Amino acid sequence: MRAPLQRALVTGLLSLGILVATLSLVAIGLSGIANGQPPSATSGPYPPVKDPDVAKGYYVAVQGDCVGCHTVPGGLPFAGGRPLVTPFGTIYSANITPDKDAGIGRWSADDFYRALHEGKAPDGHLYPAFPYNYYTRIGRADSDALFAYLRSLPPSPNRSPRNDLPFPFNIRALMMGWNLLFLDVGEYKPDPAKSAAWNRGAYLVEGPGHCAACHTPKNLFGAPRTSRDYHGGDIGNGWYAPDITPNKRTGIGGWSDEELFQYLKTGRNVHANAAADMGEVVAYSTSRMTDDDVRAIIAYLRDRPARADDSPEKPDPAVMKAGEAVYIDTCAACHRMDGAGSMAMFPRLPGSPNLQQPNPGTLIRVLLVGSRSLPTDARPTPTSMPAFNWKLRDEQIAAVATYVRNSWGNAAAPVDVDTVTKMRKALGADRRTLPDGFPTDMHHPNPETVSSPHTDSRQNGTDQAGTAALGQP
């Protein structure tokens, strides 16, 4: 197991003895994956399971969303090789199929348990990009079941590319120091004062679900700041994983249990459509969980302390007026004049936690480059937000972002133009970059377009884009 990775804790590379002050506090999300399209739903991602013992392990894999990171688009599930671009370089997920050379075919169940629990593979320390600081809560029986599931998969000889990490981040032994400081080894211990459902939810959230990897801000060493558990975290590339505490304005406090259930089971509710990282989490993990497990997650999150509310700065009325004009012209067709949207299609904007995060990153990103939800069995339509990078100026985007953050009872700090300019630059979304599908020369078929029996839609990322899975932008 050469380079396991995980969606958030790239900054865990930092360890004792390394100067961290100039390095990013930003944990990198899956959205940082180069050319990142998630594996398609049509080609899996989960191979059919028949053996009931193996099925138990499949369900552990679902809880941990292993397939999300360990599969490249169109590739064999769990065969690894998915690139993660980080400020430190690119690292690649491991092949965890049972191939003896390229995968984990020579591992024992003990080896596997140690990897989950202590972040140690037979050949050395793992980077905490692989979320062992959460997986350590998984019990031995589940670990063995997961291992048996992985052993049942078709082996793939796929070798992940070598990590492209400069010195000193390429020294795995540095992780020993990180583990000493931040790794709390141990299986989940139930709280006897709480209900069984609460404990089940706590286990799923704190353990295999590794929710905090994205939703909790990180300290200087890339470890979760436990004092601000689930307050929301910048996960890089513009995305901000929102507050999921019971805060009524920015968290899940304004959502009913049923709405939370709809979101986790189908990816959609009246408030939001799951896209990008969370789209994958829903498509590959929560939508495949039992109803009871999803309700347990909700019960646990509901019972956590709410993030203390702040009183955001009031916007400039002139900016609000400008923002309203942009909203009417470009947003109201789908989201409606009153922001009511359309259930499970176009999110309702009044009360939207996504809009009111202290960090407006997700909103700006989505305005600039759009987003597309991932299909689930219950909600197969790939709903989308179009890109406006080519159509709106930075001032217009800042104004409309400020407007939607402060209309219909919403309240959040105004978005300044500079923030939009920086995000636009970081995303490479200048005004000349036209969106995919923008017709440029309709009379001359693109000579580079290849169609053959070897590029069927089911293997062809372009063809699947709209209907199967798509994470970018």
Partner 1 sequence: MSEKLPSVDVLVVGFGWTGAIVAQELTDAGLNVLALERGKWRDTPTDFAPTFAQDELRYMWRHALFENLAHNTLTIRNNTSQTALPMRVMGSFLPGTGVGGSGVHWNGQTWRFLPSDLEVRSHVTRRYGAKAIPADMTIQDFGVTYDDLEPHYDRFEYLCGTSGTAGNLNGQIQAGGNPFEGARKRAYPTPAMRQAYAPTLFAEAAAKLGYHPFPQPSSNLSEAYTNPLGVQLGPCTYCGFCEKFGCGNYSKATAQTTILPVLMRKPNFTLRTEAEALMINRDSTGKRAVSVTYVDAQGREFEQPADLIFLGTYALNNVRLLLLSGIGTPYDPRTGQGVVGRNYAYQRTSFVNAFFDDKILNPFIGAGAHGMHIDDFNGDNFDHGGLGFLGGGYFGVLQTGARPIETHPVPEGTPTWGGAWKKAVAANYLKTTTISTHGGVMSHRGNYLDLDPTYRDVYGRPLLRMTFDYTDNEQKMAHYITDRAADVARAMGPREIKVVYRDGSWDVVPYQTTHNTGGAIMGADPKTSMVNRYLQSWDVSNLFVMGASAFPQNPGYNPTGTVAALAYWSLKAVREQYLKSPGPLVHT
Residues that bind partner 1 (CB under 8 A): 41-43, 330, 333-334, 342-346, 370, 372, 375, 377-384, 386-388, 391, 435-439, 442-443, 445, 449-453, 456-458, 462-468
206-210-215-220 Cα dihedral, nearest 10 degrees = 100
| For partner 1, the closer CB: 102 or 275 | 275
Report residue 63: phi and psi, to 5°.
Answer: -60, -35
Q: In the bound complex, what is the minimum distance in angstroms from residue 463's beta carbon to partner 1? A: 4
Residue bearing tokens 């590794």? 210
| For partner 1, the closer CB: 184 or 448 | 448
Q: In the bound complex, what is the minimum distance in angstroms from residue 275's beta carbon to partner 1? A: 11
Q: How many other CB atoms sit within 10 Å of the CB of residue 248?
A: 14
**What gap in Å lies between CA 352 and CA 360, rounded to an integer?**
12
Closest to 30 in 3D by CA, of 179, 208, 238, 225: 238
| For partner 1, the closer CB: 34 or 378 | 378
Q: Give the burial string for 190-209 (b: 16+ CB within 10 Å, else e).
A: eeeeeeebbbbbbbbbbbbb
| For partner 1, the closer CB: 91 or 468 | 468
Q: In the bound complex, what is the minimum distance in angstroms from residue 439's beta carbon to partner 1? A: 5
Sequential DSSP letters for 30-77: GGGSTT--PPPSTT-SSPP---HHHHHHHHHHHHHTHHHHS--TTS-T
Q: In the bound complex, what is the minimum distance in angstroms from residue 384's beta carbon to partner 1? A: 3
| For partner 1, the closer CB: 60 or 282 | 282
Q: In the bound complex, what is the minimum distance in angstroms from residue 228's beta carbon to partner 1? A: 35
| For partner 1, the closer CB: 294 or 392 | 392
Closest to 355 in 3D by CA, of 409, 394, 306, 396: 409
Q: In the bound complex, what is the minimum distance in angstroms from residue 163's beta carbon to partner 1? A: 33
Q: Both tokens of residue 131? A: 């979320």
